[in-house]
Amino acid sequence: MLRTGTAILPLHYGKAPAWLFERMSALSGEITYAIVREFGQKEFLKKLSDPYWFQALGCVLGFDWHSSGLTTTVTGALKEGLKGMEKELGVFIAGGKGATSRKTPEHIEMYGNKYMINPAPLVYASRMSAKVDNTAVQDGYQLYHHVFVFTYKSEWCVIQQGLNENTKTARRYHWLSDTVKEFVVEPHAAVCCDKRDITLNMVAAESENTRQMSTILSKEKPQKVIKEINKLEELELTKRHNVTPADINPKNLYRILTETYERQPENFEKLLGIKGVGPKTIRALSLVSELIYGKAPCYRDPARFSFAHGGKDGTPFPVDRKTYDKTIDIMKNAINSAKIGNQDKIDAIRRLTRYFGV
């Protein structure tokens, strides 16, 4: 699995004004059309899965470079801008923020049924990418936004974001299907953020033993695991365990472990995919694995580096509506001309991008 990165952004409340969102939608639609026409659907997904490129797109569209709202607003603008062009471009966007994110499977199935695309593997990819970032990687961020972009060929990317109430920050996760092997083994290609902390990283290569032991424990009779959990109350755990035995309700855990015992998952991915298996279940199994087998999981935060660019709030300067509208017109005219066989304007844009190396 090539997962191309995450970004951490400060929480900014409010929303883009209507005049700006309308322009963002129009320009993002033209940009999407130009990229897909020039480079293909796969390249468009690859660009979206690059947190640097996505952040730059938000800046081009005039949004705050450092705001958590960039994620939700840019994906919303892309979704709106693509309306009516899905069939022509062969690119579809499902999901969104809050309650809309939970409708992602429904959106995928709707497009799948309409355009003869098998929705099952896409729904699975959507669900598992969210499960990994919410449960297998426990970094303190609760997902509240999930967007799934896919093509006729069932290629896909994910842009999702989590909220940390304590630090008042949001972390963005990008996924790309290009080199899918496994969902639960070292999926990161890059993780972009401006801070790191202690994270239970069950998808790190170093956590392989713990993944195996957790799967084995999940297939044991619940009484055995609960007995070991009770032993943990007598131990002084290290600070890295941000879930303590006191946080684990034995009754709830017993119910989930009964489910895993009955299902007998064959591997960690199957375990993670079981409904009801959440962060506390995985944390508890990792603690017991360490206690019984001495197999400590990885606590390395996958975050590696940070980035910055530069609108809506006047940084580095206020959005120039006149220039914005002119840019949209230039893009529309170039694309409309290309549609009727006039390549001159598209060629000029191509030369410009090559000159600036973008």
pLDDT, averaged per 10 consecutive residues of the chain (358 residues), comes to: 51 69 90 89 91 81 66 93 95 96 97 96 96 93 94 95 82 85 76 70 92 95 88 56 60 91 96 94 90 84 46 48 63 62 56 46
**Token reading at 9:** 């952004």
* The pair of three-digit structure tokens given for residue 215, joined into one six-digit string: 């799967």
If asked whether residues 274 and 149 sit together in one domain, one would say no
C-alpha 123/C-alpha 105 separation (Å) is 5
The pLDDT assigned to 263 comes to 96
Residues 165 and 234 in one domain: no
Q: Based on the domain organization, do 120 and 262 belong to the same domain?
A: no
The CA dihedral of 164, 167, 170, 172, to the nearest 10 degrees, is -90
Partners of 286 in beta bridges: none
- 162 lies in a domain? yes
Burial 189-203 (b: 16+ CB within 10 A, else e): bbbbbeeeebbbbbb
Question: Are residue 41 and residue 101 in the same domain, yes or no?
Answer: yes
Rounded to an integer, what distance in angstroms lies between the CA atom of residue 50 and that of residue 173?
10
Q: How high is the pLDDT of residue 316? A: 40
Q: Are residues 120 and 239 in the same domain?
A: no
- 104 and 162 together in one domain: yes
Q: How far is CA 37 from CA 1, 32, 87, 234, 340, in A?
A: 26, 8, 13, 63, 14
Task: Looking at the chain, list the stretches that DSSP marks H as alpha helix, in order from N- to C-terminal side.
Answer: 18-39, 41-48, 51-60, 69-82, 86-89, 104-115, 120-131, 208-218, 222-232, 250-263, 268-273, 279-293, 321-339, 344-356
Q: Looking at the structure, do residues 119 and 185 belong to the same domain, yes or no? A: yes
User: Does some domain include residue 38?
Assistant: yes
CA of 177: how far to CAs of 182, 207, 243, in Å?
10, 22, 32
Q: Which two tokens stand for residue 20?
A: 């700006």
pLDDT score at 235: 52
Q: Would you state the pLDDT for residue 181?
A: 81
pLDDT of residue 163: 84
Q: Are 180 and 49 members of one domain?
A: yes
Residue at 181 is within a domain: yes
Domain range for 81 is 2-197+303-319
For residues 183 and 217, state if they share a domain.
no
CA torsion, points 119, 177, 145, 102, in degrees to nearest 10? 20
Please tell me the predicted confidence (pLDDT) of residue 250. Answer: 76
* Number of C-beta neighbours around residue 100 at 10 A: 17
> Does residue 344 lie within any of the structural domains?
no
On whether both 272 and 158 belong to a single domain, the answer is no
17 and 70 in a single domain? The answer is yes
Q: What pLDDT does residue 186 have? A: 72
- The 3-state DSSP class for residue 300 equals coil
- Asked whether residue 224 falls in the same domain as residue 252, the answer is yes
> Exposed, middle or buried, 53 (CB in 10 Å: 0-12/13-18/19+)?
middle
- Model's pTM, two decimal places? 0.80
Q: What is the pLDDT of residue 300?
A: 83
Residue 317 has a pLDDT of 43
In a domain? residue 35? yes
Per-residue pLDDT, 358: 43
Q: How many domains does the chain have?
A: 2
